[in-house]
Amino acid sequence: MAYQYDDQNIFAKILRGEIPNDTVLETEHSLAFRDIQPQAPVHILVIPRGPYVCFDHFAQEASDAEITDYVRAVGEVCKMNGLETDGFRLIANAGHDGVQEVPHLHVHILAGRMLGRMLAKA
Ligand code: 5GP
């Protein structure tokens, strides 16, 4: 199945500057900003600037430059926030079963408290 990107999603609007965001890092191909409803003291979203729905879409279709930039941006956000000391969790939800709300690839970087077990029972 080919992914269909909806350019009216909220992160596309953030990338176009139509909605404000609390920016943490900007790079050529990526943007990091604070989640509007933080689930932990540190809750930062990292998104590619390109029109990718989810992680596997990005992995299959993004250029090497975009992928390198994105992975480095995640690393830079971790470094900027000193997360190597106490650790963090990286989450990428996808699709229905992954309970992805916004159909533009994003990873959540969560940190700043003990986060507990990875999955709760549904
Ligand atoms: P998902 O469930 O798709 O993995 O997570 C989407 C995340 O986007 C949620 O944590 C939600 O709080 C965040 N979010 C939704 N709308 C906005 C917004 O307009 N601005 C920001 N900064 N975060 C948003």
Give the tens place of pLDDT for each residue, 25-70.
999 999 999 999 999 999 999 999 999 999 999 999 999 999 999 9
State which residues form the domain around 63.
Answer: 16-32+40-84
The answer to whether position 71 is within a domain reads yes
φ and ψ of 73, to 5 deg: -65, -40
Identity of the amino acid at 117: R
Is 106 in the active site? yes
Q: Is the distance from the beta carbon of residue 11 to the nearest atom of ligand 1 less than 6 Å?
A: no
The answer to whether position 21 is within a domain reads yes
The answer to whether position 79 is within a domain reads yes
Predicted confidence band of residue 121 (pLDDT cuts 50, 70, 90): confident
The answer to whether position 51 is within a domain reads yes
Closest ligand 1 atom, residue 10 Cα: 19
The answer to whether position 23 is within a domain reads yes
Give the tens place of pLDDT for each residue, 70-112.
999 999 999 999 999 999 999 999 999 999 999 999 999 999 9
Q: How many domains does the chain have?
A: 1
Closest ligand 1 atom, residue 43 Cα: 10
- Distance (angstroms) between ligand 1 centre and the Cα of 35 equals 6
* Cα–Cα dist 2/76, whole Å: 31
Q: Is the distance from the beta carbon of residue 96 to the nearest atom of ligand 1 less than 6 Å?
A: no
* Cα–Cα dist 87/60, whole Å: 29
The answer to whether position 77 is within a domain reads yes
The answer to whether position 2 is within a domain reads no
The answer to whether position 45 is within a domain reads yes
pLDDT score of 10: 98
